[in-house]
Amino acid sequence: MGRLSRSMKIRIVLAAALWQHPHILILDELADYMDVEDIQGLRSALDHFAGGVILVSSNEQLCNDFANEKWFMDDGVLHIEGTFKGDIHCSAKTAVTPSEAARQHIADIERRMREHRRKPLTDKELWQLEDELHELKEELLLNDVMLQDPEDDDAYAISGLGSVIDEQLAEILLEEFGADLKNFRQAQRDFNLKLSLLVEERPGEDPALDLLGFVAYKTWGPPVPGVSVGAVGVADKHRGKGYGRQLMKVAEDRAALLGIATAEGFRPGEVRLRSLASAVRFYERLGYERVEEDEDEAKHTPACPDPERHAGEVDEDDDDGPCVPMVRKCAPPSPPTLMKMGPLVSPKQAPWCPKLSRALEDGPTWPSLDQFEL
């Protein structure tokens, strides 16, 4: 091997890798080690390869020849070619001003979604409309937002986010859960809660940022890896537009990254929550299943509501009963999701604690940490 050229070494390494019949090939900067004839031969071979290929390269021509989908990294933020927005960390943002045609298209989709109450659509039809709406709107998904001192708006990476939290998030917490922002801020520090905010940019308007919804959760490691959802909420004026499903996907994507190999086989990460009785149907549509619970443990708490139903559409009597524990097992993520979410998950997770996870899932009127014996 020592006497072979770099090109020949690459051929041998690729041959050895393909001998194992891999599902995915990851090829990093091949243009630095292969000549034109080698690359043409590789392309021919990959055309017959049944698995997936991830090619990392700064050679634009090479990417154009090989790729049917291209991802770009810009200042630590992943962009997929052909899109103008995506999940972002709260240290960066992307803004696009929609055209008048886009605004009209948005209005048309929202009208069709409102008519869904009179002329029901299938779940697939409704979700297609929701996804199309999200692509058109100026939405920012801010992950891992840490609540700062209410007097220090400059502590946030995005101007105006402090006001959004102190006013709009506080309003949703109070109206939906009977909770206050002070308790939420303390619980986030005590329990290392993750907070994701979905906001809409409105250039030239006041306020310039509008909070669409939020999800608060905690990640766990073994023996039961996954995510406990403590609260998910959507502003009442924005319900019925698919934001609840979009926010739950944040927790599901995180859980999908937490699966582990055990002696009994692979154990996928799971999302656990406690649903209000009126919201069970919403979570079942997303693939969640009910978990049997002893009657002694069942109780009514300010748990997860249906973030798609307006407040006036929920009969308060429906939610007087005990909350319903629910779970969804999340398969390992696709490569695009892994690229977006992988950097946001710490390699070390707190071991799952049944007492603490139950307290968090009961809803955002959380007790202080010193009330738990961990």
Which residue, of 109, 137, 165, is where some domain finishes?
137
What CATH number did the domain enclosing 317 receive? 3.40.630.30
**Residue 94 or 315, more confident:** 315
Residue 261 placed within a domain:
yes
Asked if 57 and 164 sit in the same domain, the reply is: no
Instruction: Kindly state the helix (H) or strand (E) to which residue 185 belongs, with its residue range.
Output: helix 181-191
Mean pLDDT across the chain = 77
User: What is the average per-residue pLDDT within 212-237?
Assistant: 93
Number of domains in the chain: 3
Asked if 124 and 238 sit in the same domain, the reply is: no
Asked if 201 and 316 sit in the same domain, the reply is: yes
Beta bridge partners of 73: 78
Asked if 126 and 261 sit in the same domain, the reply is: no
Residue 251 placed within a domain:
yes
Residue 103 placed within a domain:
yes
CA–CA dist 214, 232 (Å, integer)? 6
> Can you give the pLDDT at residue 90?
43
Please determine, for residue 372, whether its predicted confidence score (pLDDT) is greater than 90.
no
Print the domain residue range for 11: 6-68
Instruction: State whether residue 319 is helix, strand or coil.
Output: helix
> What's the Cα-to-Cα distance from 8 to each of 15, 17, 62, 71, 118, rounded to whole Å?
11, 14, 20, 29, 66
> Can you give the pLDDT at residue 226?
94
User: What is the average per-residue pLDDT within 257-285?
Assistant: 91
Residue 80 placed within a domain:
no
Cis before 367? omega within 30: no
Residue 167 placed within a domain:
yes
Please determine, for residue 319, whether its predicted confidence score (pLDDT) is greater than 60.
no
Asked if 131 and 150 sit in the same domain, the reply is: no
Please determine, for residue 20, whether its predicted confidence score (pLDDT) is greater than 60.
yes
Asked if 128 and 246 sit in the same domain, the reply is: no
Residue 78 placed within a domain:
no
Which residue, of 51, 68, 85, is where some domain finishes?
68
The contacts of residue 115 (CB under 8 Å, 6+ apart) are: none
Q: Which amino acid is at 6?
A: R
Which residue, of 48, 68, 88, is where some domain finishes?
68
**Position 230 confidence tier, pLDDT thresholds 50, 70, 90:** very high
Please determine, for residue 161, whether its predicted confidence score (pLDDT) is greater than 80.
yes
